[in-house]
């Protein structure tokens, strides 16, 4: 399963060895998307598809996925057209596209997203972070895009996560540990991480149920989400908090016969001066002991939300001291 990460590029990391395809660099004609001086894109790729190494390292949500890096950012600054990046990703085989960034909207972006929808591609984007983003940002507010907000350790909306009628789904976004530059690791909080987690979930569903359309994949994620806030779809939680186990386990009829009762149709106007990164604050790593393993998500709600699929989350496995 090919997942395009439209971001700041993806740097070399042993936990992604063999999982990153040659991509496209819209900031440098000579590049291939394999350069990342910011680290944001590498972190998103890790949350989606890190596969660890030996008895250490990290595991992403969909460790068998292939990452297609599409670089449109340098140090938080757009230098490439997002619409062109989406079009390129679709043309080069992406079945899921993650866009953990936000900004302005162009006619080219609308055209590209429409083409992605017609090409049966799931597009996931971060909803945006307060206070930089005052409402659901572009491209997340586009109806065909799955807009994802962040929940905290208690499974409640993180204060950083924007709200609005275009919000579709929530996922863990507080103290998320992922890959860093120079073969390292880092933690951050924001809807960028939530988006990457949901993109990984979409990749898992598309791998298990290849016959499902992109719309059916989204419906499956929405209809199996854990309802939070006001009953039903609401501007604070959308359809609710993602439940990957339920989305993977329920029969195919859950999507074809029981689609989400209220698919996203909202489209807010993009805010002026939106920040390009949805992750706007870094945090110190928090380790939760799990026997010989350590869950680096720092978000206790992950286990409740994702159940047994915690084994696929970002884990750092350590040999016991007796080895």
Residues with catalytic roles? 7, 40, 192
* Rounded CA separation 215/203 (Å): 13
- Rounded to whole angstroms, the Cα distance separating 115 from 193 reads 25
Give the whole-angstrom CA distance, residue 303 versus residue 299: 8
- Alpha-carbon span 244 to 224, nearest angstrom: 8
136 in Cβ contact with 129 (< 8 Å) = no
The answer to whether the bond into 167 is cis (omega within 30° of 0) is no
- DSSP for 21-83 reads ---EESS-TT--S---SSSHHHHHHHHHH-EEETTEEEE-SSTT-EEEEEE-BSSS-B-S-HH
């Amino acid at each position: 399963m090919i997942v395009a990460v439209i971001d700041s590029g993806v740097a070399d990391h042993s936990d992604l060895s063999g999982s990153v395809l040659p991509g496209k660099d819209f900031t440098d004609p000579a590049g291939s998307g394999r350069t990342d001086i910011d680290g944001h894109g590498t972190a998103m790729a890790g949350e989606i598809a890190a596969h660890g190494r030996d008895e250490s390292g990290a595991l992403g949500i969909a460790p068998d996925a292939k990452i297609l890096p599409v670089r449109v950012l340098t140090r938080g600054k757009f230098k490439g057209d997002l619409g062109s990046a989406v079009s390129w990703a679709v043309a080069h085989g992406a079945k899921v596209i993650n866009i953990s960034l936000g900004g302005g909207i162009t006619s080219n972006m609308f055209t590209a997203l429409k083409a992605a929808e017609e090409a049966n591609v799931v597009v996931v984007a971060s909803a945006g972070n307060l206070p930089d983003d005052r409402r659901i940002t572009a491209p997340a507010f586009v109806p065909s895009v799955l807009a994802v907000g962040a929940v905290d350790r208690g499974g409640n909306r993180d204060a950083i996560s924007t709200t609005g009628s275009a919000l579709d789904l929530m996922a863990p976004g507080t103290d998320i540990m992922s890959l860093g530059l120079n073969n390292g690791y880092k933690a951050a909080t924001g809807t960028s991480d939530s988006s990457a987690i949901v993109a990984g979930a979409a990749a898992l569903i598309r791998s298990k149920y290849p016959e499902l359309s992109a719309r059916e994949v989204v419906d499956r994620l929405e209809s199996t989400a854990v309802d939070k806030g006001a009953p039903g779809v609401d501007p604070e939680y959308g359809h609710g908090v993602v439940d990957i186990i339920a989305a993977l386990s329920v029969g195919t009829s859950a999507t074809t016969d029981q689609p989400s009762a209220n698919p996203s149709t909202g489209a807010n106007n993009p805010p002026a001066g939106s920040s390009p990164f949805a992750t706007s604050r870094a945090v110190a790593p928090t380790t939760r002991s799990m026997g010989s393993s350590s869950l680096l998500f720092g978000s206790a709600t992950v286990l409740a939300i994702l159940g047994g699929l915690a084994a696929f989350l970002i884990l750092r496995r350590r040999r016991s001291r007796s080895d």
